[in-house]
Amino acid sequence: MMQAAVEGLISRMAHDSMKHLASRKRDRRAAFGLLIFSIGWIIVAAGCSGRVFRASELPAEYSAPRVARLDPAQLARLATPTNATDIISWGDLLKIEIDAGLEDLKPREVTVRVAKDGTVGVPLVGRIRVAGLEVEMAEAAIVQAARARDIFPNPFVSLHIEELRQNHVTVVGAVEEPGVYELPRGASSLLAGIVAAGGISDSASGEMEIRHTDPRLVRSGVMHADAQGRPMSGTQLASHMTVSPAGGGVVHVNLLEPGGWEHGSRVLEDGDVVNVIKRDLPPIHVMGLVNKPGAFDLTANHEVRLLDALALAGGCSSQVADKVVVVRRTPDQSSSISISASVQKAIEGPDNLLLAPGDTVIVRQTPETVVVETLQSLVRFGISGSVPLF
């Protein structure tokens, strides 16, 4: 009885093993059949593909526009040519000392701020216009006024600028930290405003607008509030200032064009609003035989070439992948063209195509990649099983 049971068990195990072996062989035959079919289909499809341009022979009208980069030399143009801190202006804080030259009258010292009309109140002498004068000229004006008003016959006047007026300037748009900044009157240049805002961002187009605004609105924060009266963030400010109102009061600056700014546009006044215009570019898309397909943003001041795009996508997922097609819209956006390139030739230089905003990069399947991928799958399949490949 025991012997019969053992023989039955062995018979069933042998039957199951033969059945499993036949199934594995059928799977291998099916895999090789699929391989031959795929190779044939790709060869036929390649022969029927439409006309494309070679990357090394791309007509000029279809080439990507070169990126106009902003360099430090261009930004240096925004600085003011002189720093007129020795010229008195309204809002400056002055320290004035008057010595009448009399033994019974001690020297008098006063700290006063220059009024909006350019005058300052001097003790016993009265109001004197000093705005627009150098320090020595302002001292002489006070002495002359004291004599003319018969207050002191031969006074000695000493004047110092204790504090320059602070201009409240708003900087928004394509800068790192949009907001309202205080700039000393003597160093209130367009460059100083951009530096205070952390510098321009990668999305800056090189174009700027300066809007002259009532400084009281800037100081009070009224112009930086939303419809509900709540303070706007830097991002909201930038969005709010993207479109300038029509009419006067706006100065345009373009760093990428020679003489692309108006006379005096480098000097900022109290209440000015600077909008560094942002250039939004459509992303490039990378797909096909890459490790991380997806959309990648472009910036206005950096070029992206074919190898850069492949690096952003994590590189090719197949070691033998070489054929790349770049789909690009025509300049009039009416149709698309295809640009054929080689990864190897891109490494060597000729096919490292400059990409345009909105390009789609496709690393294509080829007979070589299909064969290698199928063989790798079969090797993995064979190693995982205990039955020989053939």
DSSP states of 227-241 as a string? TTSPBPPHHHHHHHT
pLDDT, residue 105, reads: 73
**Could you tell me which residues are beta bridge partners of residue 316?**
290
Whole-number percent of the chain with pLDDT over 90: 24
CA distance 305 to 295: 15
Section 351-360 average pLDDT: 93
Three-state DSSP state, 272:
coil
pLDDT score of 10 more than 70: no
Task: Work out the burial of residue 215: count CB atoms within 10 Å of its CB; fewer than 13 is exposed, 13-18 middle, 19 or more buried.
Answer: middle
Three-state DSSP state, 388:
coil
Phi-psi region of 133 (alpha: psi -120 to 50; beta: other; left: phi over 0): beta
Residue ranges of the alpha helices (H) in 116-233?
Answer: 135-148, 190-196, 215-220
Residue-wise over 79-92: b if at least 16 C-beta within 10 A, else e? ebeeeeeebbbbbb
pLDDT, residue 2, reads: 39
Contacts of 277 (CB under 8 A, 6+ apart): 173, 174, 204, 205, 207, 208, 209, 242
Contacts of 291 (CB under 8 A, 6+ apart): 313, 314, 315, 316, 317
pLDDT, residue 19, reads: 52
Section 157-175 average pLDDT: 89
Least confident of 33-42, 111-120, 357-366: 33-42
Contacts of 303 (CB under 8 A, 6+ apart): 66, 67, 354
Cβ proximity of 343 and 321 under 8 Å? yes
Sheet holding 323-329, edge to edge: 53-54, 336-342, 323-329, 360-363, 284-288, 294-296
Mean pLDDT (the chain) is 75
Q: For residues 170 and 263, which has the higher predicted lDDT (pLDDT)?
A: 170
184-224 pLDDT, tens digit each: 877 788 888 888 998 888 778 878 888 887 665 555 554 45
Least confident of 126-130, 157-161, 381-385: 381-385
pLDDT, residue 30, reads: 47
DSSP tag of 248: S
Residue ranges of the alpha helices (H) in the chain?
Answer: 2-48, 72-76, 135-148, 190-196, 215-220, 234-240, 306-312, 343-348, 367-384
Section 23-40 average pLDDT: 48
pLDDT, residue 50, reads: 41
CA distance 147 to 203: 61
63: Cα separation from own chain's centroid = 23
If we measure between CA atoms, which residue out of 134, 45, 51 comes closest to residue 89? 134
pLDDT, residue 1, reads: 45
